[in-house]
Amino acid sequence: MRRFEESATIEYKRELTEKFEREVVAFLNSSEGGVIFLGIDADRQSVIGLKNADAMQLAVKDRIRNNILPSALGLYR
C-alpha cells in the first residue's frame, strides 16, 4: 500500500480546488463519510503543508457554508 493512497473515504489535495464542494457533497452522501486532507500531494507521496492553516480553515468553512445547499453546517467536523 502506498503511503498516501486515496480510497472511498480518503482524499488528498495539495490545495483547495474548484471541485472541493463536489467532493464534500460526495462524502456527505456516502454512508461511510470521508476525510479530505489538504496540503498533501498523493502523486508524489509527500506532505506539502499549508502556508496559513488558519486562513485555509476559514476558507473551507466559508465555501461549505456559502456554496452547498441545503446547508451542510453541522454535518462535518
Residue 63 confidence (pLDDT): 94
Q: Which residues are paired to 75 by β-bridges?
A: none
Domain for residue 32, yes or no?
Answer: yes
Q: Which residues are paired to 37 by β-bridges?
A: 12
Domain for residue 28, yes or no?
Answer: yes
pLDDT band at 46 (very low <50, low <70, confident <90, very high): confident
Domain for residue 76, yes or no?
Answer: no
Task: Tally the domains of the chain.
Answer: 1
Domain for residue 35, yes or no?
Answer: yes
Domain for residue 75, yes or no?
Answer: no
Residue 1 confidence (pLDDT): 44
Contact indicator for 24, 72 with CB cutoff of 8 Å: yes
The residue range of the domain holding 15 is 10-66
Domain for residue 71, yes or no?
Answer: no
